[in-house]
């Protein structure tokens, strides 16, 4: 990756304060737990942060923050569920036609590819490679 997801998460989290309004204090508490713990404690805080994102689908800085912390979850616990969550969050973020920060879009686009790669969605298996080799190119 061409950027640090943890630093990007910190930046987008700071910008999310106005987006979350009355839930900001809850988000701050959950983020502090997530950032300073590991294992099930961090996972529970992460799930709480994601639950908040469902309540604020137009909070684009916060949505980007959730994508970046999902990448952190992937590095902490490399399981398909986190890759799938990241993929879903990226798709929702990128599908929106609302105005967003250009840097966030670039980072989320890069992470989208990483989440896809982690799930093997862009890889060809041996049968696909052989089929492509055997398929005639051009008119015959």
Domain count, the chain: 1
Helix, strand or coil for residue 98? coil
* Tens-binned pLDDT, residue by residue, of the chain (140 aa): 789 999 999 999 999 999 999 999 999 999 999 999 989 999 999 999 999 999 999 999 999 999 999 999 999 888 999 999 999 999 999 998 777 889 999 999 999 999 999 998 865 555 555 555 655 555 54
- Look at residue 99 and tell me if it is in a domain: yes
- Look at residue 139 and tell me if it is in a domain: no
Judge contact between 61 and 68, C-beta under 8 A: no
- Look at residue 28 and tell me if it is in a domain: yes
Q: What is the pTM of this model?
A: 0.85
Q: What domain range is 38 assigned to?
A: 5-134
Separation between Cα atoms, residue 65 and residue 50, nearest integer Å: 10
Question: CB within 8 A of 75, min separation 6: which ones?
Answer: none
- Look at residue 140 and tell me if it is in a domain: no
pLDDT at res. 99? 75
**Two tokens, residue 130:** 């052989």
């Amino acid at each position: 990756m061409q950027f640090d997801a943890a630093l990007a998460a910190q930046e987008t989290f700071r910008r999310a304060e106005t987006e979350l309004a009355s839930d900001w204090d809850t988000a701050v508490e959950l983020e502090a737990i997530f950032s300073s713990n590991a294992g099930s404690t961090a996972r529970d805080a992460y799930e709480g942060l994601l639950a908040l994102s469902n309540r604020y689908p137009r909070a684009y800085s916060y949505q980007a923050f959730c994508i970046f912390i999902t990448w952190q979850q992937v590095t902490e616990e490399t399981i398909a569920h986190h890759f799938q969550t990241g993929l879903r969050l990226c798709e929702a973020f990128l599908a929106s036609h609302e105005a967003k920060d250009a840097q966030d879009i670039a980072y989320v686009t890069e992470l989208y590819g990483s989440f896809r790669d982690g799930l093997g969605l862009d890889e060809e298996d041996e049968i696909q490679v052989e089929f492509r080799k055997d398929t005639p190119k051009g008119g015959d």
